[in-house]
C-alpha cells in the first residue's frame, strides 16, 4: 500500500490526512509542535481561553462534507451555528453599519448608511455571482492544472482589473469601499495587487452566511484530531519536516527532525518555501503577514458587541468577542493593522471602547510570534498581482508524488478554501 506522509497538522493537513486515510491509504501526519490544529486551537491564560485564529467560517458545507466523508456527520459531534451579524463596521465619520447575511437584509442595512447605498451594495455583490460559479467549478471544487484551464476560468484569472480599481469604479462612498475591501485588507493585502475577482468573498458571505462552532472554533480542530486515531492515521507531533527526499524526480521520503520517513506520496500542508526541494518552485511568492493580536480576559462584562467589529482608521482594529471566561468575566480579541505606535488598548479606547481598567489576563502575539508559533503564516500567499495565482503550488506540484494543500495552495486563506484544497488533493491522489 502506498505510504502517504502529510506535512503540517493545521486544518489543511488534518483534512488531507483524514480524507486520504478514508480512501484507504496508510497515512502518517507530521506536526512540528506538540499540538495539532495550528491556529485552529485555543490560546489560554488563567481561566480564560480564546480562539487563537479562526473564530468563524464561511461555506459551512466544506466542514460538513469533510466530516461526512471521513466518518460521522458534523451534527453528531459539533454544533455549527449561523451568526445573525456577519460583522459591524464603524467608520471615522462616526457612522456605522451592522452587516447581516442575505440580500434583502443587506439592502436594508446599507440603506441605513444613505439612501440608495443598499442597492449599490447588493448590485456589487450580485456582480460576483458568475465569477463565483466559474471559480467554484474550475478552481475550487475540481483539481486544476495551470496550463489546462477552462476558457472562462483562464479569462477570469488573467483579467487585469484590480480590486482597488473595481471598488473605486463601483462606489463613490468610501465606506462601501472599506466594507467590500475588508476581508482582503484583514489578511494583509494591498488592494492594488489583488485581482478584482478575489472580492467574491462578499458574495459568499451574503449568500451562505458566517458560521461558528458552539463552544469555540477550536472544537473543530479537536474533533478532527480525535478522528485521526479512528481513521488509523499515525500522528507524529514534535516532528518537523526539514525537506523532501527526491529520487529520479519522484518523492521517496521526507527528512524530519527524527530521521527520514519513506513516502510514495507527500502532501505539503505548510508553506512550501520551508521545504528546500519545493522552495525553488515558489521563489516569486511571499507570505501574507498576520495582524498584531491581543487576547484579553476582562473582569465584568465586555461592551455589547457583535461577533466581529471593524473599527476603520489607521490603525484598523478588528474586535472579536468569542472566548471562554469564568463567571462574572468576559473575553475580547483585538487584531490591529497599520499605525500601531501606541498600545492597542489605547488605540481601542480612542474608539470609545475603553476596557483598560477591566483587563485581568492578556496575551499578545506579534506577527512574528505567530509565524514562529505556527511555522509560517496561516494567511497563505500575499497577493502580488494577478500572476500570484499561477505562482503558487497545488493541488499538484512539479515533483511527482508531491501535492500541496492548505492556505498556501488556495486563492485566499480561511478554513473553507483550505478545506477545499485538501479535498482537491484527495481527488488527485485517489483511492489506494
Ligand X SMILES: Cc1cc2nc3c(=O)[nH]c(=O)nc-3n(C[C@H](O)[C@H](O)[C@H](O)COP(=O)(O)OP(=O)(O)OC[C@H]3O[C@@H](n4cnc5c(N)ncnc54)[C@H](O)[C@@H]3O)c2cc1C
Q: Which residues of this protein are in contact with ligand X, per CB under 6 A? A: 7-13, 30-33, 38-40, 53-57, 240-241, 269-270, 274, 290, 293, 335, 370, 374-376, 378-379, 406-407, 413-415, 418
Report in angstroms how near the CB of residue 386 gets to ligand X at its nearest: 21
Report in angstroms how near the CB of residue 203 gets to ligand X at its nearest: 16
Query: Is the Cβ of residue 170 or residue 201 nearer to ligand X in the bound state?
Result: 201
Element spanning 238, H or E: none
Query: Is the Cβ of residue 57 or residue 162 nearer to ligand X in the bound state?
Result: 57
Report in angstroms how near the CB of residue 289 gets to ligand X at its nearest: 9
Query: Is the Cβ of residue 138 or residue 183 nearer to ligand X in the bound state?
Result: 183
Report in angstroms how near the CB of residue 164 gets to ligand X at its nearest: 23
Per DSSP, the three-state class of 271 is coil
Give the residue ranges of DSSP H helices in 266-408: 276-279, 344-349, 367-373, 388-391
Residue 274, sorted as left (phi over 0), alpha (psi -120 to 50) or beta, turns out to be alpha
Query: Is the Cβ of residue 30 or residue 135 nearer to ligand X in the bound state?
Result: 30
**Contact residues for 337 (Cβ-Cβ < 8 A; gap 6+):** 185, 186, 188, 291, 292, 315, 316
Query: Is the Cβ of residue 31 or residue 264 nearer to ligand X in the bound state?
Result: 31
User: Among candidates 11, 7, 8, which has minimal Cα distance to 219?
Assistant: 11
Query: Is the Cβ of residue 293 or residue 298 nearer to ligand X in the bound state?
Result: 293
Q: Which residue is nearest to ligand X (CB)?
A: 10
Query: Is the Cβ of residue 161 or residue 226 nearer to ligand X in the bound state?
Result: 226
CA gap 392, 380 in Å, rounded: 10
Give the distance, in angstroms, between the CA of residue 217 and the centroid of all CA atoms in the same chain: 12
Query: Is the Cβ of residue 87 or residue 120 nearer to ligand X in the bound state?
Result: 87
Residue 313, sorted as left (phi over 0), alpha (psi -120 to 50) or beta, turns out to be left
Report in angstroms how near the CB of residue 279 gets to ligand X at its nearest: 12
CA gap 288, 23 in Å, rounded: 33
For 345-413, strand residue ranges (E) read 359-365, 402-404
According to DSSP, the residues that pair with 298 across neighbouring strands are 330, 359
Report in angstroms how near the CB of residue 230 gets to ligand X at its nearest: 20
CA gap 234, 261 in Å, rounded: 12
CA gap 319, 153 in Å, rounded: 36
Query: Is the Cβ of residue 30 or residue 113 nearer to ligand X in the bound state?
Result: 30
Report in angstroms how near the CB of residue 143 gets to ligand X at its nearest: 17
Report in angstroms how near the CB of residue 321 gets to ligand X at its nearest: 12
Query: Is the Cβ of residue 3 or residue 170 nearer to ligand X in the bound state?
Result: 3
Element spanning 333, H or E: strand 329-337
Task: Judge contact between 275 and 268, C-beta under 8 A.
Answer: yes
Report in angstroms how near the CB of residue 156 gets to ligand X at its nearest: 22
Residue 178, sorted as left (phi over 0), alpha (psi -120 to 50) or beta, turns out to be alpha
Task: Quote the radius of gyration of the chain (alpha carbons, Å).
Answer: 21
Task: Judge contact between 336 and 315, C-beta under 8 A.
Answer: yes
* Furthest-apart CA atoms within the chain: distance in Å: 65
Report in angstroms how near the CB of residue 160 gets to ligand X at its nearest: 27
- Grid cell locating 430: 485517489
Amino acid at each position: 500500500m502506498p505510504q502517504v506522509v502529510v506535512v503540517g497538522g493545521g486544518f489543511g493537513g488534518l483534512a488531507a490526512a483524514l480524507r486520504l486515510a478514508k480512501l484507504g491509504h496508510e497515512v502518517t501526519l507530521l506536526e512540528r509542535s506538540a499540538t495539532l490544529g495550528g491556529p485552529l486551537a485555543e490560546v489560554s491564560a488563567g481561566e480564560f481561553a480564546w480562539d487563537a485564529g479562526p473564530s468563524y467560517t464561511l461555506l459551512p458545507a466544506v466542514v460538513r462534507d469533510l466530516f461526512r466523508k471521513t466518518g460521522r456527520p458534523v451534527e453528531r459531534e459539533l454544533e455549527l451555528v449561523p451568526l445573525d451579524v456577519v460583522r459591524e463596521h464603524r467608520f471615522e465619520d462616526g457612522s456605522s453599519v451592522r452587516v447581516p447575511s442575505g440580500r434583502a437584509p443587506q439592502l436594508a442595512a446599507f440603506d441605513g448608511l444613505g439612501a440608495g447605498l443598499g442597492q449599490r451594495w447588493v448590485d456589487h455583490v450580485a456582480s460576483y455571482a458568475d465569477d463565483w460559479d466559474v471559480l467554484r467549478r474550475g478552481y475550487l471544487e475540481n483539481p486544476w492544472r495551470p496550463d489546462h484551464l477552462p476558457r472562462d476560468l483562464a479569462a477570469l484569472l488573467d483579467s487585469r482589473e484590480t480590486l482597488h480599481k473595481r471598488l473605486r469604479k463601483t462606489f463613490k462612498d468610501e465606506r462601501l469601499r472599506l466594507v467590500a475591501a475588508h476581508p482582503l485588507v484583514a489578511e494583509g493585502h494591498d488592494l492594488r495587487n489583488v485581482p478584482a475577482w478575489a472580492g467574491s468573498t462578499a458574495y459568499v458571505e451574503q449568500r451562505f452566511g458566517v458560521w461558528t462552532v458552539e463552544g469555540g472554533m477550536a472544537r473543530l480542530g479537536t474533533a478532527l484530531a480525535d478522528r485521526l486515531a479512528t481513521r488509523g492515521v499515525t500522528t507524529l507531533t514534535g516532528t518537523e519536516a526539514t525537506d523532501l527526499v527526491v529520487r529520479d524526480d519522484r518523492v521517496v521520503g521526507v527528512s524530519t527532525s527524527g530521521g527520514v520517513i519513506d513516502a510514495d506520496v507527500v502532501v505539503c500542508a505548510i508553506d512550501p518555501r520551508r521545504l528546500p526541494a519545493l522552495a525553488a518552485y515558489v521563489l516569486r511568492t511571499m507570505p501574507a503577514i498576520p495582524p498584531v493580536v491581543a487576547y484579553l480576559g476582562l473582569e465584568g462584562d465586555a461592551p455589547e458587541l457583535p461577533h466581529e467589529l471593524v473599527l476603520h482608521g489607521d490603525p484598523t482594529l478588528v474586535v472579536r468577542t468569542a472566548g471562554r471566561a469564568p463567571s462574572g468575566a468576559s473575553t475580547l480579541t483585538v487584531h490591529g493593522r497599520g499605525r500601531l505606535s501606541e498600545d492597542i488598548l489605547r488605540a481601542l479606547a480612542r474608539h470609545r471602547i475603553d476596557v483598560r481598567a477591566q483587563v485581568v489576563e492578556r496575551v499578545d502575539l506579534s506577527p512574528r510570534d505567530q509565524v514562529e508559533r505556527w511555522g509560517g503564516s496561516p494567511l497563505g500567499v500575499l497577493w502580488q498581482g494577478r500572476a500570484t495565482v499561477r505562482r503558487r503550488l497545488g493541488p499538484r506540484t512539479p515533483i511527482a508524488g508531491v501535492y500541496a494543500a492548505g492556505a498556501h495552495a488556495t486563492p485566499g486563506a480561511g478554513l473553507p478554501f483550505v478545506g477545499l484544497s485538501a479535498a482537491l488533493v484527495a481527488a488527485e491522489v485517489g483511492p489506494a
